[in-house]
Amino acid sequence: MKHSGLLTEEQASKIRLNEYEFPKNSGSFIGKLKYRKMIPGKPCLMCYFLSDDGKKIVLPVWENDKTGRYTPRDNGFCFAKDVSDDSEWNCEYEIYGNRTRFLSATLINSAENEAIFAVKFFLMLIKRAFPRQLIANIAVSKFSLSEKVMFVGKDNQTRYTIELKTGDYLVTREKSGESKEKNTCVLIHGQTFDSISKTYE
């Protein structure tokens, strides 16, 4: 039974989610994300993985108070929106007391899938830098994880570039044509994705 998106209570009742267990010791695994389900009444998303060695593992992802995104502690993939079922991950977690903390998740699918997820992530950064910008009106112009990432508005008069700056992200907007104005540079915090500063060139 294949699902995309978060499970509803009705869908979850038809799946043996109780076969998935929390890890007993801190560590890591490689596995496929099979299901995702919100805990009713709590800002917590349960992620169900099938590891390469056949173990059924569940990890919790709590909502980030500042961003509202459901991300592991150390990276920016939102498991409520930015990922898909059957994607493959290298997951790291730790056990403290009787709790499990989801530390990081590295996508290890094909380069094509990685690029799709990365584009979503960079579009999120643009939205954080320029909240009034309609993401639907932006297209990828140049995409390379090793260089500047570039997006252009569909009107071809607005261009966005994204650079990594000592762990943070610098998002620059350039406008041309009749609406030409000074370039706007917004520095986005690499962990919280809050705007740190805005400057003009």
pLDDT in tens, 128-174: 999 888 777 777 666 665 566 677 776 778 888 888 888 899 999 98
> For residue 113, what pLDDT is reported?
61
Which has the closest alpha carbon to 47: 27, 13, 22, 25? Answer: 22
The rounded distance, in Å, linking the Cα atoms of 191 and 200 is: 24
Q: Contact, 195 vs 187, CB < 8 A?
A: yes
- In this prediction the pTM is 0.58
Q: Tell me the residue length of the chain.
A: 201
Q: What are phi and psi of 123, to 5 degrees?
A: -65, -35
- Bridge-partner residues for 12, per DSSP? none
